[in-house]
Amino acid sequence: MPALPSRAIEHIPGHAVQHIGEHTGMETYATVDFVGRDTNPNAVPPIVEVDENSWIEANFWHFEEVSETRDQVVLFDDSRDVTMVINYPTDEILIYAPNGELALIYDITGVSYSLTPVIPDGWVV
């Protein structure tokens, strides 16, 4: 499928983007909004897919994509030796410490998809 001009991409409704990506093999980029649960209730930044294999959380933590399926994305932050699992069916983000123990759970409050990365204002990628 030929690449769409950037102006055309801007006019595709958000609800159609995920469908387009699933059925044409086009890369889609996710923005996952979440809130903290129990141990970190004030955490509310999004995690944003900024290219095919990279995600950034809160304009600070960088993750490389290890695997991605329709149901979950597994990410790894080499600087902290931390694994993040975005589990779409359960609306949870699980953070695993370097020793493999579950350290934090976040609740997903929304997921949006786009055909180009959506970087929040003020973020440096």
pLDDT digits (tens, 9 = 90+) for 12-42: 565 555 555 555 556 788 999 998 887 666 7
Q: 50-85 pLDDT, tens per residue? A: 988 999 988 888 999 999 988 999 999 999 999 999
Q: What are phi and psi of 117, to 5 degrees?
A: -60, 140
* 67 vs 74: CA distance, rounded Å: 5
What is the CATH architecture assignment of 6-114? Answer: Beta Barrel (2.40)
> Hey, which residues does 56 pair with through a beta bridge?
48, 62
Q: 88-109 pLDDT, tens per residue? A: 999 999 999 999 999 888 999 9
* 18 vs 114: CA distance, rounded Å: 8
pTM of the complete model = 0.76
